[in-house]
Structure 1
Amino acid sequence: MVADGIRIESLVKTYGSGDTAVHALRGADMAVAKGEVVGLIGPSGSGKSTLLKCLGAVIEPTSGRMTIGERVIYDNGWQTRDLRALRRDLIGFIFQAPYLIPFLDVTDNVALLPMLAGTSNAEARKNAVELLEALDVAHRAKAMPAQLSGGEQQRVSIARALVNRPPVILADEPTAPLDGTRALAVVALLNDMAVRFDTAIIVVTHDEKIIPTFRRLYHIRDGTTVEEIVSE
Structure 2
Amino acid sequence: MAEGIRIDNLVKTYGQGDTAVHALRGVNMSVAKGEVVGLIGPSGSGKSTLLKCLGAVIEPTSGRMTIGDRVIYDDGWKVGDLRALRRDLIGFIFQAPYLIPFLDVTDNVALLPMLAGKPNAVARKEARDLLEALDVAHRAAAMPSQLSGGEQQRVAIARALVNRPPVILADEPTAPLDGVRALAVVDMLNTMARQFDTAIIIVTHDEKIIPTFRRLYNIRDGVTIEELQLEASPARRT
Q: Distance in 2 between matches of 1:18 and 1:81?
A: 30
Change in Cα spacing, 1:3 to 1:43, as seen in structure 2 (3 Å) is farther
Secondary structure of the residue aligned to 1:201 is strand
Q: Give SS of 2:29's match.
A: strand
RMSD of equivalent CA atoms: 0.8
* CA deviation after TM superposition for structure 1 residue 231, in Å: 2.2
Superposition pairs of residues 158-173 of structure 1, within 5 angstroms: 158-173=157-172
Counterpart in 2 of 1:67? 66
Q: What does residue range 58-207 of structure 1 map to in structure 2 within 5 Å?
A: 58-207=57-206
Which secondary structure does the structure 1 equivalent of 2:151 belong to? helix
- Structure 1: any 5+ residue segments left out of the alignment? none
Give the conservation status (yes or no) of the 8 Å contact 1:91–1:167: yes
Percent same amino acid among aligned pairs? 85
Which amino acid in structure 1 is aligned with residue 208 of structure 2? K
Amino acid at match of 1:185: A
Q: Give me the TM-score of the superposition, normalised by structure 2.
A: 0.96
Secondary structure at 1:159's aligned position in 2? Answer: helix
Deviations 1:110-154 (A, max 9, x none): 000000010000000000000000000000000000000000000
- Asked if the contact 1:3/1:31 (under 8 Å) is kept, the reply is no
Q: What SS is found at the alignment partner of 1:114?
A: helix
Q: 1:136 to 1:114 in 2, by over 3 A?
A: same
Structure 2 residue runs without a partner (length 5+): 232-238
Q: Contact 1:35–1:196 (CA<8 Å) still a contact in 2? A: yes
| Offset from partner CA, 1:83-119 (integer Å, 9 cap, x none) | 0000000000000000000000000000000000100
CA distance in structure 2 between the partners assigned to 1:200 and 1:80 by the alignment: 20
Number of residue pairs the alignment of both structures matches? 231
CA deviation digits over 1:38-59, x for unaligned, max 9? 0000000000000000000000
**Cα distance between partner residues in 2 of 1:80 and 1:181:** 41
